[in-house]
């Protein structure tokens, strides 16, 4: 069965410093992995996705994630945090096959201090 | 990516009543999904709705409580029946976008008193 574990429920960084949001996955096959962002009182927005092409995936707003099979990790990074990055971030794995639905991690709340 | 709208955006309802949430997408899609996000929690899949067939419910969710309609390839409704305060959540619909990707609507914020 597929699952994701977000290792931090809350991450706080200063504006201009790097962001690291950690995610480990479990899958019985090569998974599709995603990061979604949810700003306060807003819907979910797709940041980036990994679907077995390049292991380093670039997304919107300067975010990127690296798929590491040996570590079963898919950590999200950004070189320099901006105040507008403050939001909830979800690491997600696809159940795949004919079911097609997504399994969400518990989320990491990112705070950005001025 | 698909453009998805939901109605209502929010509602406050009384215990014991029912609310129907609408989800409209700007293109034809085969698979639509309904999720629940309880306060401070992550998203949990309620059911998958394919046009022309009965919705498939996840463990812990039943049709009597969350009936779903899927009359065509661009529209679906989710009804929350006989509501209790525990049903207070954000309800989101999503659609398949290829390569296992899903695109989400803005959500319906439901408060049950």
**Quick check: is B49 in a domain?**
yes
Please tell me which residue, B101 or A12, carries the higher pLDDT value. Answer: A12
pLDDT at A27 over 60: yes
Instruction: Check CB contact of A98 with chain B, cutoff 8 Å.
Output: no
| Per-residue model confidence (pLDDT) at position A99 | 57
Q: Which domains does chain A have, with CATH numbers?
A: 3-113 (2.60.40.10)
**Quick check: is B2 in a domain?**
no
Question: CA-to-CA distance for A53 and A60, rounded, in angstroms?
Answer: 18
Instruction: Check CB contact of A100 with chain B, cutoff 8 Å.
Output: yes
Helix (H, G, I), strand (E, B) or coil at B86: helix
**Quick check: is B10 in a domain?**
no
- The pLDDT tens digits along chain B (113 residues) read 789 999 999 999 999 999 999 999 999 998 899 999 998 888 999 999 988 888 999 999 999 999 999 999 999 999 999 999 999 999 999 998 877 788 999 999 999 99
**Quick check: is B77 in a domain?**
yes
Asked if the Cβ–Cβ distance from B31 to A96 is below 8 Å, we say: no
Instruction: Check CB contact of B73 with chain A, cutoff 8 Å.
Output: no
How many other CB atoms are found less than 10 A from the CB of residue A92? Answer: 27
| Per-residue model confidence (pLDDT) at position A71 | 93
**Quick check: is B92 in a domain?**
yes
Question: CA-to-CA distance for A99 and B56, rounded, in angstroms?
Answer: 9
| Per-residue model confidence (pLDDT) at position A95 | 73
User: Minimal Cα–Cα distance from B102 to chain A, Å?
Assistant: 8
pLDDT at A17 over 70: yes
| Per-residue model confidence (pLDDT) at position A96 | 67
| Per-residue model confidence (pLDDT) at position A100 | 60
CATH of the domain at B40: 2.60.40.10
**Quick check: is B101 in a domain?**
yes
Count of domains for chain B: 1
**Quick check: is B27 in a domain?**
yes
Instruction: Check CB contact of B59 with chain A, cutoff 8 Å.
Output: no
Range of the structural domain that residue B22 is part of: 17-107
Nearest CB among A46, A90, A99 relative to B103 is that of A46
A48 → chain B, closest CA residue: B101
Question: CA-to-CA distance for B75 and B23, rounded, in angstroms?
Answer: 6
Helix (H, G, I), strand (E, B) or coil at B85: helix
Asked if the Cβ–Cβ distance from B42 to A107 is below 8 Å, we say: yes
Chain B (11-40) residues lying within 8 Å, Cβ to Cβ, of chain A = 31, 33
pLDDT at A28 over 90: no
pLDDT, tens digit, for every residue of A46-103?
A: 999 998 778 899 999 999 999 998 999 999 999 999 999 999 999 999 876 655 678 8
**Quick check: is B60 in a domain?**
yes
What does each C-alpha distance from A44 to A14, B39, B81, B99, B107 come to in angstroms? 24, 15, 25, 18, 9
């Amino acid at each position: 069965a597929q699952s994701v574990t977000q290792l931090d429920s809350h991450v706080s960084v200063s504006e201009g410093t790097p962001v690291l949001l950690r995610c480990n996955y479990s899958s019985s096959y090569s998974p599709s992995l995603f990061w979604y962002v949810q700003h306060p009182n807003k819907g979910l927005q797709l940041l980036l996705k990994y679907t077995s092409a390049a292991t380093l995936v670039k997304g919107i707003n300067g975010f990127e994630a690296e798929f590491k099979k040996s570590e079963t990790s898919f950590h999200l990074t950004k070189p320099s945090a901006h105040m507008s990055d403050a939001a909830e971030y979800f690491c997600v794995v696809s159940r795949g096959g004919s079911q097609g639905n997504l399994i969400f991690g518990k989320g990491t709340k990112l705070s950005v201090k001025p | 990516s698909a453009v998805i709208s939901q109605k209502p955006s929010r509602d406050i309802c009384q215990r014991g009543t029912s609310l129907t949430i609408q989800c409209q997408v700007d293109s034809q899609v085969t698979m639509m999904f309904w999720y629940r996000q309880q306060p401070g929690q992550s998203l949990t899949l309620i059911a998958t709705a394919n046009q022309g067939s009965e919705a498939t419910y996840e463990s812990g969710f039943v049709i009597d409580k969350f009936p779903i309609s899927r009359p065509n390839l661009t529209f679906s409704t989710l009804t929350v029946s006989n509501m209790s305060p525990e049903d207070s959540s954000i309800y989101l619909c999503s659609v398949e976008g290829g390569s296992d990707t899903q695109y989400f609507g803005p959500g319906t914020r439901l408060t049950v008193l």
